Amino acid sequence: MRFAVFATAGTEDFNYLELRRLDAALTSSHYLHVFDGGHTIPPATVATEAIEWLEIAAMRSGRRVVDTALVDTLFATR
């Protein structure tokens, strides 16, 4: 793929195994976050993590200008 992928799946999600297989098959920049739950919107903390991860991925790929202040803030909070 030519773009980064941040996927989520609940432990009881009917798509869980499918997303695990996708995670294993992708060779591009990607991350799968598994959370406790079913086929639902991920918790707010996971959604925030996704946005932050995608921002960093965009900077790494050159699709977004590197914002050192944002990087510093994100790493300080982790």
Q: Tell me the mean pLDDT per 10 residues along the chain, length 78.
A: 91 96 95 96 96 96 95 92
**pLDDT at position 78, please?**
81
| Structure confidence at residue 42 (pLDDT) | 95
Count structural domains, the chain. 1
Specify the pLDDT at position 1.
66
Is-contact 50 43, C-beta < 8 A? Answer: no
Note whether 1 and 28 are within 8 A (CB): yes
pLDDT given for residue 57 in this prediction? 95
Rounded to two decimals, the pTM is 0.87
What pLDDT does 15 receive? 95
Rounded CA separation 49/33 (Å): 9
Cα distances (Å, whole numbers) of residue 60 to 10, 14, 23, 56: 28, 32, 20, 6
Q: Structural domain of residue 26, as residue ranges? A: 5-77
CA distance 54 to 57: 5
